[in-house]
Amino acid sequence: MNPDDDGQINSDRLLEQYKLYVEMADRVSQRRDQSNRFYATLVAAFVALLVVMARLDVSTDTWSVVFGVVGAFGMAFSIVWFINIRSYRELNSAKFQIINDMEKLLPYAGYSKEWEILRPPGDSPRYIQLTRVEQFVPAVFFVFFLALLIYGAYRLMSG
């Protein structure tokens, strides 16, 4: 934050910028949540397609193609989902670095203190960031869809 003409930091302006930045960080988290719901819905649609197909009387070759196509598309969506989560994590990390810098100029540094409590120096962290946990979900689905693709290809080649 640049000082005013008299060399002093305008605390009102700093506080307004701080509030705006905290709100924007929250909005990024909300967008990440909406994005996760979108991808989870896509995965559910793929699984629903398989369930519907199971109720139909289709040939083995058709099943093999469906497994392969669903597996390939599912893997692609899982990769994009993973990249999306990492992107949101990096964006929020940058925002919170700026928020922590702003807090150095405020009377109390709430977010910085929160991180000190959650991640004490020299101690193993008690808190695992949600985005790190979230990354396992698309990875698990990637493996599931890879298995579908392999199974579909195997059935086509052996059938």
What's the rounded Cα separation, in Å, for the pair 70 and 151? 11
User: Is residue 127's pLDDT more than 90?
Assistant: no
Distance CA 78, CA 134 (A): 12
**pLDDT exceeds cutoff 80 at 16:** yes
Higher pLDDT, 53 or 82: 82
Which residue from 99, 97, 94, 103 is spatially nearest to 11, judged by alpha carbons?
Answer: 103
Q: Give the mean pLDDT of 27-43.
A: 94
Task: Collect all residues with Cβ–Cβ distance below 8 Å to 57 and sequence separation of at least 6.
Answer: none
> Can you tell me the distance from the alpha carbon of 4 to that of 40, in angstroms, rounded to the nearest whole number?
49
pLDDT at 2 over 60: no
pLDDT confidence of residue 7:
46
pLDDT average, residue stretch 53-78: 88
Q: Which residue has the higher pLDDT, 59 or 18?
A: 18
Taking 90 as the threshold, does the pLDDT of residue 37 lie above it? yes
